[in-house]
Amino acid sequence: MSVGLLLTFVDNFGIARPIAHSSTPHQTFAILIGMVTLPFSVGATLTGFVFTMMEER
């Protein structure tokens, strides 16, 4: 959901123009999306690990 929300507001924050005028806009946008989704994926993984460890006790 956060990636969809970011894509909705990316033009309102003024991020679209610097990405479009960069030398590699696709790579820049992929890095931006990676930086947004990585904390959520790491958090979900760690939460799953904690829940698994708590079940074993």
Q: How confident is the model at residue 1 (pLDDT cuts 50, 70, 90)?
A: low
Q: Where are the alpha helices (DSSP H) in the chain?
A: 2-9, 16-20, 25-56
CA atoms within 13 A on the CB side of 2: 10
Asked if residues 15 and 32 have their Cβ atoms less than 8 Å apart, the reply is yes
Q: What is the mean pLDDT of the chain?
A: 83
User: Percentage of the chain surpassing pLDDT 90?
Assistant: 28
- Identify the DSSP state of 14: T
**Tokens (6 digits) for 20:** 């479009």
Q: For the chain, how many structural domains are there in total?
A: 1
Q: Which domain holds residue 30?
A: 2-56
